[in-house]
Amino acid sequence: MIKVSTIRENEYKVIIEQHGSSTTHTVTLDDKYFEKLTQRKIQKEELIKKSFEFLLQREPKESILRKFDLKVISRYFPEYERIISQ
């Protein structure tokens, strides 16, 4: 399960509960990048949730950075922006 909650503007807390344990992450997402990826067709929280689903398909929750900007994902996974924008 992935829970996304707002900490403050453009900053979110993500809790991943899986296999009897959980990890907590802090993610930032600016408006410009959000619009680039979604054209505002979904909420920021939904984009973040989808982004964590994307990450969990590629690595265990313990390997995901504890604090990062959403833009960083494409550095590790070049296909991220193409896939997440669909």
The pTM of the full predicted model, rounded to 2 decimals, is: 0.95
86 has a pLDDT exceeding 90:
no
pLDDT confidence bin for 57, thresholds 50/70/90:
very high
Question: What is the model's pLDDT at position 78?
Answer: 97
Cα separation, 27 vs 35, in Å, equals: 16
With a pLDDT cut of 70, the percent of the chain lying above it is 100
User: Coil, strand or helix: which one is 86?
Assistant: coil
Quote the mean pLDDT of the chain. Answer: 97
Give one DSSP letter per residue of 21-81, joined into a string: EEEEEEEE--HHHHHHHHTTSS-HHHHHHHHHHHHHTTS-GGGS-SEEEGGGHHHH-TTHH
